[in-house]
Structure 1
């Protein structure tokens, strides 16, 4: 069993190393599920087989020692050398391969349950949600807000709240569900969403906006052209305002992917795009409007791709002031 455990750990190290280096894609939810199952098997084996066997061996040692002492006592020898306590502890000691499997099961199980049903951490990898979320922000996502879903397969079993316009939502990228994206919900089922000449319209009406002081891009990450100020606005989707960035130098037209489900619901022109959101789907956009590849390019997000509602920044190692709720 020790050799088998060593092989399993070796496979895990190789997989994680290749995943980190980008040699192959990875699914952390599925990996955590596998680790939970494997450590559960070891935990059950330890509780019902290996631990009882070690305890039986220790009892047998104690019985043999007691029998030997009784035999010597029958011969009149009262003082007997030899202490079996160290040998008994050695027999009861858990081997390393159980300590690193069965011993980790409770911790892995708790992480799996918390991550699957309550909260999941994510790291912001791009500038598509600036100024709301910056590159390097570590955020928490509420996994149960939109309903309880089965781990790994993401099947909703208990519906709760529906996504609302203005929510910041994490979802599985429709073109490649192994990748998680984060954008803002702009259109819900039945809405007509238009983004024309860099202005957002919902059901034929312009979304209310107000001009804000320019946003200073300290890292120059928005457009990759160094430090500069960018036009910033307050936009009202739903009940709360949020900030967006617009670059007037960028063209209004969109070059969509060759095909995506319900593409026939969208009309493209030199001014931008107009889409009718189908049932069970959502139209997503980044707050950094001219530097976000979102539903304008690859279409709608189906309900089964929803991961959860993002709501809290808990750390950014490049900016320790980045902490707190952003909704």
Structure 2
């Protein structure tokens, strides 16, 4: 499930109320249903479909007159029903199911804030309780891994939970050391109530670069932005400081087929995870990154790596990628998987070209990790 960025990448979308049992992760499927009260269900369906497509979600008609949204490990079926829409969500674990509820609330709020607020899911919710996938990580320290990219290390007792796919987490950066922070809480409609004012959290979605269950440690590689968001918090942090975490969530590394991928520095950790997931992978990877990135990415023998200067702009990176990828396409032995992650302007350029090429949305991931 993707949606809207990382300086890192924002969870798109979008219960158990206590800590999630790590043994349940991926054990699904889990299901929940709800009814959304709307005056014109057919108009609502059309608007939801348009919104889903603008978010790059996979949307298809569902007989006899419904709509199906789907992604890796999740689905939401939407049907007209008396007085509104019937919703049926299914996911592989609690983190993704929570994300679906949050996403659904956000989509419905654009149609009718009242309908979104009245939403109630069949598996229940406990207003005021933490989300099932909420955790706190404890700060250990940082070191530089590439020019402009720092490795942030956290203590995490259940690090095994983050060792496999999905590979993203939403980090919740408090305006303090985290000991007295206000964390997000469940709402009755399945959404999340976020602290505001002086207690407001800075949130971004990042890639878990490495999880070490033996040492109980998590590593997150983040672009250095000075005194801003996670980098700013990390610059002030002392051992023992805590921040909040939701997830893991998002799609697993794209599989099945030759890979055509590109990233700027902010998406480099995700590209590294994707390349490491399949040593037998073939394809092309392009990165706007310093020369040291070749060792950082360590692509499989079958993947050709090309580096562009780190200062390459998003649209220029998109053009370089499209030219190289389209040249490589005739040599692909099977339908390719497209993956592009960078600043939003470049992503829009790639999406437009892939639309023109009629590339199946199920075989592409174009994600804006930040906005200029």
Normalised by the length of structure 1, the TM-score is 0.27
* Structure ID, larger Rg: 1
Normalised by the length of structure 2, the TM-score is 0.25
